[in-house]
């Protein structure tokens, strides 16, 4: 993982070097930008499938296992467009057939591109184009492309439509300029749909950001980092450094893995910086903590928790209202994912919602190829200075590779978590007898390639008399296991929390 700017700050005055650093972190340089575009589009389609799966009947869910298994296989083979095609097939299966309609086969393989996604608010034009995400069916009614209309809307944070545009499907495939007039600073949702008779098709929403005085505000943060080199709080320094690198990349048009709310993220950076500058020396940390906690209660926030030169990127959210120290739920993503995965997918963010409803602080760290730069205890130490947390009520939940990370963290700090959850993976615990004070929930789909690892974990824990519950989920593969197990997982966690409270 890249060291934050305390290692080297020279790129601050040379944006291209900042982009290069970001490319190294994400494994994506200019030559693989199209792959990152596919990753963004794949995530949108996965979220769409998960939302439909939640409402599907058991028969439809069972029928979707085969294409979902193929989608996961293609994802790990880096055939992202093929994975998208299989995801769309699974999405079709889990919906009512009447909802598919005659229009969908003509357009489902297309993705809507809108540029620039992130720009200064002086920019008043969007180029929109529909391009194939994968090879679709042959259009038997090509003449209809001039009759089918694409309707576009930009919606602000208050839900109001601020700009609209209509063009034919044929024009959209060629590419068209849309004059939006001047947009106020903000992160807008781009809603796009086509109609043919009674048939309607909508693409997943995309985020379009406009920022006032974008360049000068980025320069201000960059200069503050140079001036504060070696003096600023580690987490603030790392968070601002990583955020400004991301914002520079977005400003340059580099596609990210998700639709980041860049305007909001920039304002959050400025608020943290102002809290640091505006407070008296002896109250800087409390001012910064108040700023972060306030923002985290209102929206998701991205931080880089840091101790010295070591840091780990996290996405977190705090409950809207708290009256006491809050439990902490750590979420560890699988291979190929990031800190965004539990918030964006895995049941379209339902794990996060369940944690927040219970009044828990939800924290999702980013894992790299070599694991975590900071372990759970170190992350808690940093979080303890930002939030009022209850260190006796810490939960760890991981999927696939993340399940392995749960095993590692519990082995490092067996006295720390109250309960642990491993889904779709695991493996034998090396010293299971040290984990006897932790209660475990382990789950896997019957069609899940991680099932053997989950069973092996349960077997090793049971042999060491560690409390462990194992559940198999019929007609579930590797990706959907988190969504399928959510209700059982939180019933288990609720029970562990109640048992702890009764014991006290």
Q: H or E stretch including 421? A: strand 419-423
So what's the pLDDT on residue 377?
Answer: 97
Q: Is residue 106 within 8 Å of 139, Cβ to Cβ?
A: yes
Query: Looking up tokens 């995400």, which residue turns up?
Result: 133
Q: Is residue 124 within 8 Å of 180, Cβ to Cβ?
A: yes
So what's the pLDDT on residue 16?
Answer: 29
**Structure tokens given for 56:** 């599907």
Q: Is residue 39 within 8 Å of 75, Cβ to Cβ?
A: no
CA distances from 263 to 246, 258, 295, 363, 465 (A): 12, 14, 14, 22, 51
So what's the pLDDT on residue 15?
Answer: 29
So what's the pLDDT on residue 17?
Answer: 26
> How far apart, in whole angstroms, are the C-alpha atoms of residue 65 and residue 477?
6
User: What digits encode the pLDDT tens for the residues 327-344?
Assistant: 999 999 998 889 999 999
So what's the pLDDT on residue 280?
Answer: 53
Classify residue 288 by burial, with Cβ atoms within 10 Å: 0-12, 13-18, 19+: buried
So what's the pLDDT on residue 498?
Answer: 92
Which residues, at least 6 apart from 88, have a Cβ–Cβ distance to it below 8 Å?
Answer: 45, 49, 108, 109
Q: Is residue 46 within 8 Å of 91, Cβ to Cβ?
A: no
Which of 494, 499, 496 has the alpha carbon at shortest distance from 359? 494
Other C-beta atoms closer than 10 Å to the C-beta of 253 total: 12
Q: Is residue 157 within 8 Å of 100, Cβ to Cβ?
A: no
Q: Across 219-341, where does the E strand assignment appear?
A: 301-307, 310-317, 326-332
Name residues of the chain where pLDDT drops below 50: 1-34, 140-141
Backbone dihedral angles phi then psi of residue 66, each to the nearest 5 degrees: -60, -55
DSSP state of 109: T
> How far apart, in whole angstroms, are the C-alpha atoms of residue 110 and residue 133?
5
Q: H or E stretch including 425? A: none
So what's the pLDDT on residue 292?
Answer: 96
Q: Give the length of the chain.
A: 504
Global pTM value: 0.90
């Amino acid at each position: 993982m890249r060291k934050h700017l305390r290692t080297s700050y020279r790129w601050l005055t040379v944006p291209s070097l900042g982009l290069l650093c970001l490319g190294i972190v994400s494994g994506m340089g200019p030559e693989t930008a199209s792959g990152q575009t596919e990753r963004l589009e794949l995530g949108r389609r996965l979220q769409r499938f998960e939302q439909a799966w939640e409402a599907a009947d058991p028969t439809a869910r069972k029928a979707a296992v085969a294409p979902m298994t193929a989608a996961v296989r293609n994802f790990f083979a880096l055939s992202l467009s093929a994975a998208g095609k299989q995801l769309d097939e699974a999405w079709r299966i889990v919906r009512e057939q009447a909802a598919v309609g005659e229009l969908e086969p003509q357009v489902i393989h297309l993705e809507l591109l809108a540029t620039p996604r992130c720009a200064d608010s002086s920019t008043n034009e969007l180029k929109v184009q529909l391009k194939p995400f994968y090879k679709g069916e042959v259009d038997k009614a090509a003449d209809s492309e001039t009759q089918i209309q694409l309707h576009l809307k930009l919606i602000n944070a208050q839900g109001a439509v601020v700009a609209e545009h209509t063009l034919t499907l044929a024009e959209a495939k060629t590419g068209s300029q849309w004059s939006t007039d001047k947009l106020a600073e903000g992160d807008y949702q781009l809603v796009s749909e086509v109609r043919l008779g009674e048939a309607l098709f909508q693409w997943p929403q995309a985020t379009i950001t406009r920022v006032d005085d974008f360049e000068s505000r980025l320069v201000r943060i960059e200069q503050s980092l140079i001036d504060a080199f070696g003096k600023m709080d580690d987490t603030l320094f790392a968070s601002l450094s990583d955020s400004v690198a991301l914002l520079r990349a977005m400003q340059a048009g580099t596609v990210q893995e998700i639709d980041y709310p860049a305007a909001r993220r920039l304002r959050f950076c400025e608020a943290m910086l102002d809290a640091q500058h505006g407070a008296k020396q002896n109250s800087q940390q409390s001012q910064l903590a108040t700023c972060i906690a306030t923002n985290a209660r209102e929206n998701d926030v991205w931080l880089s928790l840091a101790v010295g030169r070591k840091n780990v990127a996290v996405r977190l959210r705090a409950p809207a209202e708290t009256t006491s120290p809050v439990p902490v739920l750590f979420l560890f993503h699988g291979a190929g994912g990031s800190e965004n995965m539990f918030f964006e997918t895995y049941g379209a963010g339902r794990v996060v919602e369940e944690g927040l409803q219970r009044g828990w602080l939800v924290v999702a760290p980013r894992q790299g190829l070599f694991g975590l730069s900071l372990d759970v205890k170190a992350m808690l130490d940093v979080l303890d200075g930002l939030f009022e947390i209850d260190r006796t009520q810490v939960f760890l939940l991981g999927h696939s590779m993340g399940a392995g990370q749960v095993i590692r963290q519990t082995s490092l700090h067996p006295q720390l978590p109250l309960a642990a959850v491993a889904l779709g993976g695991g493996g034998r615990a090396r010293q299971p007898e040290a984990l006897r004070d932790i209660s475990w929930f382990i789950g896997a789909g019957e069609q899940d390639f991680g099932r053997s690892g989950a069973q092996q974990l349960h077997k090793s824990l049971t042999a060491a008399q560690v409390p462990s519950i194992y559940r198999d989920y019929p007609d579930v593969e590797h990706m959907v296991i988190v969504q399928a197990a959510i209700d059982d997982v939180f019933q288990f966690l609720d029970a562990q929390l109640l048992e702890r409270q009764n014991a006290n």
